[in-house]
Chain A
Amino acid sequence: MGEFFEFKNIEKYYGATHVVKNVSFGVRCGEIFSLLGPSGCGKTTMLRIAGGFETPESGEVFLDSVNITSLAPNKRKINTVFQNYALFPHMNIWDNIAFGPRTAGLPESEVAKKVECMLDIIRLGGHGSRMPDTISGGQKQRVAIARALINNPKLLLLDEPLAALDLKLRQYMLLELDRIHDEVGTTFIYVTHDQGEAMSLSDRIAVMNGGVIEQIGTPAEIYENPRTKFVASFIGDTNFFDGKISGQIDGETCRISMDELGEFPSYNEHKLSNGAKVTVSIRPEKFRIFGSRAEAEGLNALEAEVIDVVYQGAQTRYWVLANGHRINVLSQHNRCYLDSKQPTWGDKVWIAWHRDDVTTIPFESPR
């Protein structure tokens, strides 16, 4: 199946540092695709390769089935929104946005029409004569997007576009980005280290670490079913347990003996066979807290002692100790929080989870 935009076996070195290691993936037409990873994972390098600012040592880049690997940045139907916006400081907003079409040699009347249209889309109509250093960060961000989109790119690259904005503005700009994407329908590749941004904006996410893609999937797939320990820990919070497959129950379920904690029936997605070492990941919100074993009927359960309680309004985070393991439990508040008795420091409780809420990751030897 031909992807709209595709990386094939990309390798990139900076000096002796191997920053991108044989990366291949495709982006579908019209989607918002996020490259998510910690700083230094190679995600920005991938973006710069897509934009034509870096040449890979080997591998190919395809846009709409055309090999663009050696094409100069100005010859690609790809535009970039840079992290620091990179607005031209000596030009006003209007001239900044008009830069692309003017460079392409469009007649001034047509340029004017397009710029007006873009100013409307980013809701900055009437601000065309302002200079970049007289507008706010959020406005600069929108101008940078308009300046890129006015060229009708087949692909828009966004390099940590919200990193420089404060929290409130970031949330607002996320909605704006989504709205602009709906309005223009361009394919977006969005680079970020912020899992929250990636989760709320993307159709699909590629999680990168150490120059390789760890997993590609929808936000829900990535969160609910992480393939690697890195993905499980980078996206959201989780609890890890080391274990071993100790028996099979049916095709989908197995028994896992988890360290000193005991043996529990667990979902076995990878169909691992007996004796295989595994890492078990259980998200904090998958646990429920009960006062007695009887209440946890039909669930896996562990006896534990509450060692810390952090009330967070909509939820409470508990730290419990079970046989030497500190476990992070997140409890969503339901109705009548104040009227019901809540676990507190030193309480003996049972933490319970469903066998299907377990992610079993084949054991990785430490890299």
Chain B
Amino acid sequence: MNGFQTQTGARAAYNGRKLSEYLLTAPSFLWLTLFFAIPSVLVFAIAFRTADPSGGIDAGWTLASVESVLKNAYLGVLWRTVWVSCAVTAICLALGIPVGYWIALQNPKYRYWLLLVVIIPLWTNFLIRIFAWRVLLHPDGFLRQSLVALGIVPDDVFFLNNIGAVIVVTVYTCLPFAILPIYAAAEKFDFSLLEAARDLGASRFCAFRRIFLPGIRRGIFTATLVVLIPALGSYAIPDLVGGVDGEMLGNKIAAKASAYRNLPEAAALAAFLSIIITLPVLLFLLKQKRIIRSVVAARRSAGDSTK
């Protein structure tokens, strides 16, 4: 009898806690529903509507837009979008990891100044920075003119309006967002572990690869996500410095929506892009969850309930 009462009491307390949890998360939940979930569903839904020639949506349902998206015409752009984004991410990591490592090793007094240097470009408007790159990379610009004059670059090489320009400018834009999470992880990294690895016979490079990189893996994952996802959806950079060869999926969506006035097809493309972005994130999150679960299980088996 007594035990039963205690049990119901505990259940009530549990339910109460659950309720307060719901109430606490309700505002953000509402926000996400209104401004993320519903628009996403709308985009997915519009993809199956028929197009209105004046640029709106007509009555009725059709698979025409989806079929059109899956046609070969887009595969080239899709492939370019993916490989450019992956290349941008790889370059950002290749630059961001050494920079983050180096900043973390500096005297704390100077670290914040160095971080400031990383962040300062972000104070200037995104579009203005891209236009600055246009000036810099322009065929008659200072950079190309002097390189050609010095004979370093042949006269028929152009820097602007090609895929190379898209990669360079996207890397420039995304690099701070790669450096910051990597630095945050590196700053917490215990550098005496590298000494321990060296002590146990590892070369500098081996210690870096086997101890430092796994040690900051969370920072690397975060950097990958915050670079890869915006890169996949980039629109302004390819539009302004990419030329015809530098077009990406984002530009196609914009063209469908504004130039072709075909909203369903734009929506289908957008949905397609969302799926492409969501898949790697989902895989990553699943992996994270598995790691967390295995750590929890290990702790539990160790009889350690405190952590």
Contact = CB atoms under 8 A, between A and B. Distances in A.
A147 B298 contact: no
Interface in A78-114: 78-80, 82, 84, 86, 88-90, 99-100, 103-104
A128 to B, nearest CB: 12
A191 to B, nearest CB: 15
Nearest to A73: B198
A135 interface: yes
Given A74-B201, A100-B201, A151-B201, A86 B195 contact: yes
B195 A90 contact: no
B200 A79 contact: yes
B211 A88 contact: yes
Contacts of B197: 88, 99, 103
Nearest to A97: B200
B199 A103 contact: no
A99 B193 CA distance: 12
B206 A103 contact: yes
B192 to A, nearest CB: 5
Contacts of A271: none
A84 B192 CA distance: 9
Contact of B199 (A73, A104, A129): A73
Nearest to A100: B200
A51 interface: yes
Interface string A130-158: 11011100000000000110010000000
Given A88-B211, A90-B214, A51 B206 contact: no
B307 interface: yes
A53 interface: yes
A72 B207 CA distance: 13
Contacts of A151: 200-201
Given A103-B206, A131-B295, A134-B299, A90 B199 contact: no
Nearest to B192: A86
Interface in B190-216: 190, 192-193, 195-203, 206, 210-211, 214-215
A88 B196 CA distance: 9
Given A86-B190, A89-B215, A131-B295, A80 B196 contact: yes
Contacts of B201: 74, 100, 103-104, 151
A104 B199 CA distance: 12
Nearest to A147: B200
A74 B211 CA distance: 15
Given A74-B198, A74-B203, A135 B192 contact: no
Contacts of B128: none
Nearest to A86: B196
A130 B193 CA distance: 19
A134 B298 contact: yes
B114 to A, nearest CB: 22
A151 B217 CA distance: 28
Contacts of A82: 192, 195-196
A79 B203 CA distance: 14
A145 to B, nearest CB: 13
Contacts of B202: 74, 99, 103
A133 B196 contact: no
Nearest to B304: A134
B157 interface: no
A74 B199 CA distance: 5
A30 to B, nearest CB: 21
B302 interface: yes
A217 B3 CA distance: 68
Contacts of A104: 201
Contacts of A84: 190, 192
A86 B192 CA distance: 7
B124 to A, nearest CB: 39
A259 to B, nearest CB: 50
B196 to A, nearest CB: 4
B195 A53 contact: yes
Given A73-B199, A88-B197, A147-B200, 10 more contacts: A51-B199, A53-B198, A74-B199, A78-B199, A82-B195, A86-B190, A89-B193, A90-B215, A103-B197, A135-B302
Interface of B: 190, 192-193, 195-203, 206, 210-211, 214-215, 217, 295, 298-299, 302, 304, 307
Interface of A: 51-53, 72-74, 78-80, 82, 84, 86, 88-90, 99-100, 103-104, 129-131, 133-135, 147-148, 151
